[in-house]
Every structure is written in structure tokens, then in C-alpha cells.
Amino acid sequence: MQSKRARLDRFISEQLGVNRRDVRALLAQKRVLVDGHPATGINQVIDDFSHVVFDERILREKKPVYVMMNKPLGVVSATKDEQHKTVVDLLARPDKEQLHIVGRLDFNSTGLLLLTNDGQWSRQLSAPENKVAKVYRVTLEKPVTEDYIKAFYEGIYFPFEGITTRPAKLRTISDYVAEVSLIEGRYHQIKRMFGRFNNEVLTLHRISIGNLSLDPLLSPGKSRELTEREFDHIGITSE
């Protein structure tokens, strides 16, 4: 989802129904405030979350929203679905139709899911070059061996796409349980990586994204907004 960025003069012209040439005079008279400060120029760029006021009349006021959910089993990671209940259906928020999903989970996968109305933030979290790790707890049909660790780190070749996965970290918890850390999210990636060893994934549960862990007090299907500290420390570190 793209953030709606626009030149200030175009936005003011559309909102007030005035000629764009007349906007310059309004700015010179300091009648337009952007985020609490007099507008700097007609070519100033505003976005979805810019607070724009003209003569004490609010023209744009939208706050970014960041929601953590504990996705339950059997719910679709989508905003709408004709056959199944979606994660958006589980939200008890008046603004839920404005939110989109950051990194989907499969129908039979559970755990940490993020929703937001901030397109730039979601793109930063999802971009592999930003190296935001997603960690999953996986239960398997067969025991995990040391061979898995080396193969996951070197990357698994997916012939259908003709690509090799980026290095992934695998840590064994017990014979049948492992934790996998990825910085990308290809279609059914973890299931397909274990599929190389003919080992079926029985359960898949996401426990963290970057430095953000799933709140252990959040029961399946429940959600809450991120705290300011959680937002600040999630770990988007673009190079």
C-alpha cells in the first residue's frame, strides 16, 4: 500500500476550491499550518499523516495505527474473503477497514500478525534488504537433524521460481520442534524448505518480528495497539 503524498499547493487548491496560484498568498500570510508550523512553500510535500490546518479549519488529520494480533488457526490473512473469516473480521475497531496486513500468515499458521494504515512502515518491515527477521516456532512430523541447519543457512533452491532462499537460521528446540529465522517471506517458504527433507510441518507459529515479540497475554484472535516503545524498537535498520 502506497502512502498518499502530494504537493501542498495541489492539496490546498483541491480542499478549498481555489486556484493553485492563489495558494502562494495564503502561505505568505501564514494561514496554513503543517504539523503545527507555518507551511514552508507551495512545493512542500505532505503525506497521509500530515496535520494540515487552514484558518483553524482542519483539512487533514489522520493518525498512524499499528496493531499487534495473535492470529488464530483457521482464519485468513486478508481484509476480505467470501468463504472464510478474516483477521480484519476479528478486529473490534471502527477504523479496521483502513488497515492492511504486514506479512501474511497462512490459513493454518498462527501467531504474531501486524496490521497498520502506514504503507511506508509496512514496506520497510517487509523489504529483505532491511533485514528485519521473522522468527517461527515449527513442529515437524520427523526429527530435525544437523543437516537441516547447514542447508537452511546455505539456502534452499526453489525450482518453480528458479531462486535460492536467503540464508536462514535454524535452531533445534527438541527432536521435533525448531525455530526458524527468516528475512524474507516467499510463498509457503518454511513448509517448502522442510519439504526438501520430506518432513511435513505440523504447526507453524510466528513468535517475533524484528525486536517485537508476541505478547504472551494476548489470547488467539485478540489484538492491541503497539506501545510507543515497541514501535521504536522493532528494528527497522535500512542500510
Q: What pLDDT, on the 0 to 100 scale, is given for residue 3?
A: 53
Mean pLDDT, residues 86-115 taken together:
93
Mean pLDDT, residues 117-131 taken together:
88
The model's pTM: 0.81
| Contact by Cβ (8 Å): 64, 225 | no
Residue 112 predicted with pLDDT over 60: yes
| Contact by Cβ (8 Å): 100, 117 | yes
Say whether 175 is catalytic.
no
Which three three-digit cell numbers place residue 134?
Answer: 521473522
CATH number belonging to domain 66-232 = 3.30.2350.10
Residue 39 predicted with pLDDT over 50: yes
Lowest mean pLDDT among 34-43, 175-184, 218-227: 34-43
Residue 83: which residues within 8 A CB-CB, separation 6 or more? Answer: none
Grid look-up 497498520 returns 116
Residue 67 predicted with pLDDT over 70: yes
Q: To the nearest whole number, what is the mean pLDDT of the chain?
A: 91
Same fold, 6-60 and 66-232: no
Instruction: Report helix, strand or coil for 55.
Output: coil
Pick the CATH number of 6-60 from 3.40.50.10540, 3.10.290.10, 3.40.718.10, 3.40.50.1100: 3.10.290.10
Burial class (CB in 10 A: 0-12, 13-18, 19+), 8: buried
Task: For the chain, give every domain's residue range.
Answer: 6-60, 66-232
Identify the active-site residue in 47, 81, 106, 215: 106
Split at pLDDT 50, 70, 90, the class of 207 is very high
| Contact by Cβ (8 Å): 49, 62 | yes
Q: What pLDDT, on the 0 to 100 scale, is given for residue 239?
A: 39
Q: What pLDDT, on the 0 to 100 scale, is given for residue 43?
A: 87
Q: What pLDDT, on the 0 to 100 scale, is given for residue 1?
A: 43
